[in-house]
Amino acid sequence: MNADVKTGSSYRQEQALQTRLRIADAAQALFARDGYSVTSIDAIAREAGVGTRTVYAAYGAKREILNVICERWLERARARELAREILEEPDARARVAGAAHWLTVLYSTDFDVVRILDGAMDEDAETQALLRSKLRGRNRVMDSLIASVESTLSVPLAEAQAVYRAFAATGVYQELVVNSGWTSARFEEWLAATLETQLLGS
């Protein structure tokens, strides 16, 4: 009897999870196509094939859907794991190349999410606080990658970190890869060479 109850409970939890993911997928498609600000909960519900109350029950607020979209993107990119792997590299130049690889993987995994996050920056205070927190988290990772090669830098650490963050501006990847047709591999090769020249003086 207990096994049956557990199985039923597990099934319901799985169904609830699948519904949450379906809502997140629908929201991401709409955010990317129409923009975050103009996409309503009603529109997300229609796109996901669920009731509006189901969306509210699953998330409570639109910004919480945005949070899940962002977390799923980071998971797909293995952003946290990849940063740890790069920091374990014994060679400083390999870590600088790894910094270029990390940013390229992050953006090439789903650049739509990057653009969605940028487009949501003018929203309400709670959404802005969420996005600032995500940006601080990204910058902490990026700063740690550059700090790991501080002893080999040809410029002050703070300047080197600022240069790397500058290349993470959405417009850089947008212009070179999306607009100009570069492959992500070409972008990574260019960024690695540029970082090495700018930061290590070689």
Report whether 149 contacts 202 (CB < 8 A): no
Q: Residue 197 CB: number of other CB atoms within 10 A?
A: 11
- CATH number, domain 69-200: 1.10.357
Provide the CA 112 distance to its chain's centre, in angstroms. Answer: 9
> According to CATH, where is 1.10.357 located in the chain?
69-200
Q: Pick 122 or 167 by higher pLDDT.
A: 167
Domain 2-60 in CATH 2.60.120.650: no
**Residue 181 — left, alpha, or beta (φ > 0 → left; ψ -120 to 50 → alpha)?**
left
> According to CATH, where is 1.10.10.60 located in the chain?
2-60
Instruction: Kindly report the pTM of this predicted structure.
Output: 0.89
**The two structure tokens encoding residue 70:** 């962002």
Q: Residue 27 CB: number of other CB atoms within 10 A?
A: 26
- The string of pLDDT tens digits covering residues 70-115 is 999 999 999 999 999 999 999 999 999 999 999 999 999 999 999 9
Predicted confidence band of residue 13 (pLDDT cuts 50, 70, 90) = confident
150 DSSP assignment: G
- The string of pLDDT tens digits covering residues 136-146 is 999 999 999 99
User: Residue 49: how many CA atoms within 13 Å on its side-chain side?
Assistant: 5
The mean pLDDT value for 6-27 works out to: 85
